[in-house]
Each structure stands twice: as structure tokens, then as C-alpha cells.
Amino acid sequence: MTLPTNERDLVLSVVMPAYNEERTVEVAVRRLREVPLTLEIIAVNDGSSDRTREILDGLAEAGLVHRVIHQPQNGGKGAAVRAGIQAASGHVVVVQDADLEYDPQALPGLLEPIRVGKADAVFGSRFQGGPRRVLYFWHSVGNRFLTLLSNMFTNLNLTDMETCYKMVRADLLKRLPLISTRFGIEVELTARLAQAGARIWELPISYAGRTYAEGKKINWRDGVAAFWHIVRFNLSRPAVRE
């Protein structure tokens, strides 16, 4: 696929998985609408038990969200992301969490290497010097360890493999054989991009991490699972779909 030369004709599909994010999802959507890009916003309600479903439907009725997908039950972030990717119709796809940790104003900068033809995928790194909220030491250690282990398998020199901001050309992304259901999607996507020989860039982003009291969901069990996923997805090499 050849990307449009006119920036206004290039459509960025933003997939927003949301599970019990009634406190933040509307703010996240409205922040996206402030980004000076042509966006297609696809929200995926991952079986929420709070008011996330009603809020997203209201945002769609107001024209702030282009499509809402309701998963029948909580299937995990990976399952929600894959549903959103399948529904995306833009030229480039990125995931935007609904928890306000990532600033959508970074999206134009991340898009630029893809728009000008230098990259197939761009990772937004929380560890390249951008402003960030100071929080958990052991989370930082865990992220850096998992990134190191992933790099050893992929032969990439990423600084933040676990970042949510992985922006990828849609024609490539839709061909990757993704199967993850939970947070393993970050590991799997990195492995599959490396195996596909994608041109990957990395740029610094700001990051405002939240505490568990504020609703953070990932925990040490997901870190242990990520270790296994790194081995699993890098040793298996399913063919990229034609």
C-alpha cells in the first residue's frame, strides 16, 4: 500500500481497548479528538462491568467515536486489540489505552517516520528521556529486563518493548499472525514485526503512569507471563499472511 502524500488524506486508525474505564475513557477520547490528524477512533469495550459500555455508546452517538465494538465478555487486552485491528480501515494503526497514561499529542511525531517512508513501525519509548511521572522502581526494572530479553531474541535495540504506543502500517499489521489475548500482545507484536523484517523506529514520549489505587491493572503475574511469551513468540515463526 502506498501512503497518501497529503498528510490530511492519511488516516490513522486508533484502537482503544477499554475494560472498566468509566472514570477516564471519555477524557481519553476527547484528548484524541484534539490531535491535529485525520483519525478513525475504534473503541473496544472488553466486557466491562461498569458504565464503560454506556459511555462509549454515548460518545459514538455524539460523533466522537467512529465505531464501538462490544466484546461479549472480558477477553483481555490482546483480544480487544485484535478485534480493533480487524475493524480498522485507516492507513496506519496505533493502540491508545483508555487510562490517560499516554498523551495523544505524541501521535503526530510518531507518525512522521511512517508518513515519509522511513519506517513501517514506530515505538514510543517511555525510557528515552521524555517527561514522565515518577512511580514504581520495580516496574521500571521489570520493563527494562523484559525489553533486554526480547532484544536478545529479536536482535533489535529497543529501549521499551512493552510500550502501548506501537504505530504500524495497516497493510503490514493486518498480515501479522497475532493470537495473544492479554498483555502478551506487546511481546507478540514486537516479535512478529522483527520476524517480518519491519523497519522499526523509536521516539521518546511522555508518560503519566497511574497507581493501583487509580486503576492500574497490570501486575507481577503479567510480568512473569511476559517472560514466557518472549520465549514462545520468538521461537515460533508462523508465516506472515499474504
Tell me, what CATH number does 33's domain have? 3.90.550.10
The number of domains in the chain is 1
Whether residue 192 is predicted with pLDDT greater than 50 in this model: the reply is yes
113 falls within a domain: yes
Whether residue 77 is predicted with pLDDT greater than 60 in this model: the reply is yes
What residue has cell string 514510543?
A: 124
Whether residue 238 is predicted with pLDDT greater than 50 in this model: the reply is yes
- Residue 90: give the domain boundaries: 9-235
4 falls within a domain: no
Q: pTM (2 decimals)? A: 0.89
Give me the mean pLDDT over the 140-165 stretch.
92
Whether residue 212 is predicted with pLDDT greater than 50 in this model: the reply is no
Lowest mean pLDDT among 82-86, 168-172, 231-235: 231-235
Identify whether the C-beta of residue 201 lies closer than 8 Å to the C-beta of residue 123. yes
Whether residue 210 is predicted with pLDDT greater than 80 in this model: the reply is no
Give me the mean pLDDT over the 178-182 stretch.
90
pLDDT at site 67: 98
240 falls within a domain: no
Q: Where are the beta strands (DSSP E) in the chain?
A: 11-18, 38-45, 67-70, 92-95, 121-125, 166-169, 200-204
pLDDT at site 128: 84
